[in-house]
Amino acid sequence: MTHPFMDADGDKLREECGVFGAINAEKASAATALGLHALQHRGQEAAGITSFDGHDFISRRGLGHVAENFSSPEAIAELPGTMAAGHVRYSTTGGAGLRNVQPLYAELASGGFAIAHNGNISNAQSLRKDLVGKGSIFQSTSDTEVIIHLVATSRYPTVADRLIDALRFVEGAYALIVMTPTGMIACRDPLGIRPLVMGRMGDAVLFASESVAFDVVGAELIREVEPGEIIFVDFAGEIKSLHPFGSRPARPCIFEHVYFSRPDSTFAGHSVYEARKAIGKELAIESPCDVDLVVPVPDSGVPAAIGFAQQSGLPFELGIIRSHYVGRTFIQPSDSARNAGVKRKHNANRALVAGKRIVLIDDSIVRGTTSLKIVEMMREAGASEVHFRVASPPTANSCFYGVDTPERSKLLAARMELDAMREFIKADSLAFVSIDGLYRAVGAKGRNNACPQFCDACFTGDYPTSLTDLAQTERKSDELPFADRSPTDSRAA
């Protein structure tokens, strides 16, 4: 689903959300708010925090940035207790609106139950239909609420066992932080598609989508939550770990290295910043360019451009200056408004690029519209040649695991071959890093096609789980008379 808080053309992939949790922390909600600030890049549409004071669960949720909702002492004071969990989100499955802002909360037979979820359940609609048929009443359109109803209807005796039972029905990607009256539960899907890490701050145990959140709150990174692992932490500080789903080869999302994670985070045991520099070096080896300057498309293209420049021996220069005070850009109805939106965010460093042959380095090309405008901007600034290099393989497939992706028909790489893509963005040359080059940059020898080390479905179309809702949607579409068919989003609805 395209939402109103994307770039001017919806021309960047957006992570659905970020999660943070703290238990046995003196000021749990304050730590959670600070952690969410560090994860703001993972979701800028809405933010929420739920705390537990030993008796009651208290929630505060709002549309907008973390600072708009949790920057005042009064807002934090409304969320007392030594346990809290928070969430920042973009809307993919479920759409926008306050009722879908997490953590979601419900009163179960066993007491309060709050859940924050990063990811996407690819059989949520099928499960929801079955639950509604049995009498469940949903309060949101979020796929996350399916987990609450599965827990509520499970016949196992403890909340922990009910959660495990519920997750056995779930397919897709999830990193969860759950709060109950007895403590906090953190878990990750069996393939580890979405990230989740564990930290410590004094007696407090913390969980977060990225390690950078621990740096900001002054906590120590302990380790990643393992794929398929469920960790229980109680108010006495006891930590228990289970692996109830068996052992499968992990498939973490490789796009965390390319774009989603902050460069000062670590992911899958590697520095994200160093991985992005290494991708740039692989790109320079595979697709060298005879130019005067290496110019990053800010900010996400900067580390890869540094690596490209170091490997090729070319000068690295800031030929594009980005304004950091534009704020969120709403989708605009006309080409002139869209162009103005891009120029408010990026402006050519005319004195530097005029008369120069340049190579632009960006993290990805999605629809291609922003790439086209940036190339045109460089030519208008007087660049004699404009080449384009991309620090990821062509994005030719939609994601169904918690990333807001345009439908496949709108992805440039799904519609065009390489030379047609080059003509579309009006570059003198265009090249992407290879899938093996990407794998080498993140510490592998190359892609093991028989057992890939990452989820790379957006590049390869090799989805690591079943896609039940998508299959059912496509089957229904095939059953419609031709005249009744209309274009639909290829994402799970």
Q: Catalytic site residues?
A: 17
What's the rounded Cα separation, in Å, for the pair 154 and 147?
Answer: 11
**Alpha-carbon span 88 to 36, nearest angstrom:** 7
**The pair of three-digit structure tokens given for residue 436, joined into one six-digit string:** 């093996």
Q: And the tokens for 353?
A: 């690029």
Crossing angle for the helix pair 145-153 and 159-167, to the nearest 10 degrees: 120
**Residue 442: exposed, middle, or buried by beta-carbon count in 10 A (0-12, 13-18, 19+)?**
buried
Do you know the residue count of the chain?
A: 493
Closest CA to 119 of 153, 146, 97: 146
Query: Whole-angstrom distance between the N-terminal and C-terminal Cα of the chain?
Result: 8
Q: How far is CA 119 from CA 49, 441, 485, in A?
A: 18, 25, 30
| CA neighbor of 175 nearest in space, from 234, 135, 110, 225 | 225
Can you give 42-98 as a three-state secondary structure string? HCCCEEEEEEECCCCEEEEEEECCHHHHHCCHHHHHCCCCCEEEEEEECCECECCCH
